[in-house]
Homo-oligomer: A and B are copies of this chain.
Amino acid sequence: MTTSDDGLGFTQTKQVTLFDAAHPLRLVCGDQLNEVVIAYETYGTLDADASNAVFVCHALTGDAHAAGWHQGDKHPGWWDTMIGPGKAIDTNRWFVIVPNLLGGCQGSTGPSSVNPATGKPWGLDFPLLNMSDFVTVHRALVAYLGVRKLHAVVGGSMGGMQALQWAISYPADLDNAVIIAASSRLTAQNIAFSAVGREAIVRDENFQGGRFTEQGVSPDVGLTIARMMAHITYTSEQGFQEKFGRQPQYAESAPGFGVDFAVEGYLEHQGEAFLTRFDALSYLYLTRVMDYFDPFADSSALDAVRADPVRFLVLSFDSDWRFSTEQSRRIVRRLASAELPVTFRDIQSPWGHDSFLLEIDPYLATVRAFLEAKNDYRGTAWGRA
């Protein structure tokens, strides 16, 4: 059990304006943003030569609060299993940077932020984002923090996609990339699950064409349904079965159409809890970024990183059916065929996609060992020997 006693203690989310009208953020879609505020947390201490920074990218519904505790919270940050003193991303050794994504809703500029040009929330006028836009923002944050070179970029799920994009776009920025339970190209089924979630949101009568904040309402039903459905895909059949089976929610209750089975109570709780921390517009924007992510579609995608190799660790979980082992293998094949140094491991876990958030020893030990290994291939003929 992780408590505030054996981790980072209390941590704090800060905000910084990284782009403004004088230095706007130019997006892949062609638009620009004249104000970009990014929320972030850092853990550990940057060393004198700024060489010990590890950048952590969050998944779809994550935020900057990855580790330690916020006053009054019942749970620590979302990756407290991974990040902390003596943990896999050891804050005694590494200076860890975690931002909330552009397009997110926990302190960073996103579609529910106020559009400075109108004084009203952006809504669907917020520009469409691309995985590369996140990298642009993250590079600005790193520069702001005085870091010139990252020891590693690490992320799970959509966070792994950001790490991959960063490594192939700007390999000189980082020595190592850790890509966990990710994908380099969503399948039709992946897109389908996100599409149904988006449909539930957009067709909620309180969505109001994206102007719900101005109307004083919010598409809670749609967002709840989207989350409940997605949550099923983040766990495994076996995980659900072991946790709930066919156990009833209450010892005695008449059958009906409410919460009869424990698994229904759990899902409903997941859906409700999500409303307190997530925004329907962010859900649309961020899922769409994943749908379009396809970095290897460009045959020259790996030219830059071939010229300046990053060392890769790719991890999957054998029960993950949302972003399956096969999807990780595809990343590995692409990187390996470009003769890049890539380590791959498929971790045994019954818990499905969300395994990347859990305390699974062989998994955490692998990340730790990779980050701490001597990085001695640069400038050598690695992979070409």
Contacts and interface: CB of A to CB of B under 8 A. Distances in A.
A120 interface: no
Nearest to A236: B189
A172 interface: no
Contacts of A191: 246, 261, 263-264
A195 B256 contact: no
Contacts of A271: 199
A68 to B, nearest CB: 32
Q: How extensive is the interface on chain A, given as a class?
A: 35 or more
Nearest to A124: B257
A193 B30 CA distance: 39
B267 A195 contact: yes
Interface in A23-52: 29
A241 interface: yes
A256 B292 CA distance: 11
Contact of A128 (B199, B228, B256, B294): B256
Interface stretch (A12-20, A82-90, A201-209, A366-374): A201-209
Given A240-B192, A284-B257, A292-B255, A199 B228 contact: yes
Interface in A246-303: 246, 255-257, 260-261, 263-264, 267-268, 271, 284, 288, 291-292, 294
Interface of A: 29, 124, 128, 185-189, 191-193, 195-196, 198-200, 202-205, 221, 224-225, 228-229, 232, 235, 237, 240-241, 243-246, 255-257, 260-261, 263-264, 267-268, 271, 284, 288, 291-292, 294, 321, 324
Given A191-B246, A192-B267, A202-B257, 18 more contacts: A124-B257, A185-B246, A187-B240, A188-B237, A188-B240, A188-B246, A191-B261, A192-B232, A195-B264, A198-B257, A199-B225, A199-B228, A205-B205, A205-B221, A225-B225, A237-B321, A255-B292, A261-B291
9 contacts: A29-B255, A188-B237, A191-B264, A192-B240, A195-B267, A196-B267, A202-B257, A237-B321, A237-B324
